[in-house]
Structure 1
């Protein structure tokens, strides 16, 4: 039951990450007139920071050190992203469907493996 609660919280944090990222990008592009690249980078940084803080404090309630957790979080993010990208390449080679749908499948794959790695490694004490 604990893992189910954590998965639900992880999903809520994920939705908040998406909203924060989108709002920051919009503000930087439309209000501050920043470039799309700078807006994207800053928006994603805001989303990742939000994800780290909320998942550490709320989702997994980890007492592991902040620096140790942050390093692990970054490592897990990179590994999961690369696994997701490899999976996307496989899907595009094997599934004769619109590549956009393969993106969505790969995103779901990333979400699941990222949750698992964060649960068993990143926020372990």
Structure 2
């Protein structure tokens, strides 16, 4: 039951992260003409800051490790999940003929699942 509650909270935090991330990616790609890689990483950095604070304090209520240790583990989990999702986006860009912007949405859904698992069992484990 606790995992279900955490998943729901993680989903709520994730919605805010997704909105922040996608707005930043869209603004950078569509308004400023930035490359996909720069737009993608900048969007994820904006979302990740929001995610760390809310997931540590609210979703997983992690107090077993300090902010520094949690931040380090969160960064490790982020890098692993980010590289996996970005690889998927590049693969989709190569093989699908839809606007590349939509491939980022697919990549974000993939990222969300693997990041929840890593945060629950690695980053914020009690």
TM-score (norm. length: structure 2): 0.69
2:109 corresponds to 1:102: no
Match of 1:30 in 2: none
**1:69-109 CA distances to partner (integer Å, 9 max, x unpaired)?**
01011111111111100111222233444433322111100
CA distance in structure 1 between the aligned counterparts of 2:95 and 2:22, rounded to whole angstroms: 32
CA distance in structure 1 between the aligned counterparts of 2:79 and 2:121, rounded to whole angstroms: 16
Using a 3 Å threshold, how does the CA distance of structure 1 residues 121 and 98 change in structure 2: closer, same or farther? same
Using a 3 Å threshold, how does the CA distance of structure 1 residues 95 and 20 change in structure 2: closer, same or farther? closer
Match of 1:55 in 2: 55
Match of 2:13 in 1: 13
SS of the equivalent of 1:62 reads coil
Q: Where in structure 1 are there 5+ consecutive unaligned residues?
A: 26-36
2:119 corresponds to 1:93: no
Match of 1:2 in 2: 2
SS of the equivalent of 2:77 reads helix
Match of 1:34 in 2: none
SS of the equivalent of 1:81 reads helix
CA distance in structure 2 between the aligned counterparts of 1:79 and 1:19, rounded to whole angstroms: 21
CA distance in structure 1 between the aligned counterparts of 2:44 and 2:86, rounded to whole angstroms: 18
TM-score (norm. length: structure 1): 0.70
For 1:16-95, list aligned pairs within 5 A. 16-17=16-17, 47-63=47-63, 64-95=65-96
Higher Cα Rg, which structure = 1
CA distance in structure 1 between the aligned counterparts of 2:86 and 2:44, rounded to whole angstroms: 18
Match of 1:120 in 2: 121
* Alignment: residue pair count: 111
CA distance in structure 1 between the aligned counterparts of 2:108 and 2:115, rounded to whole angstroms: 10
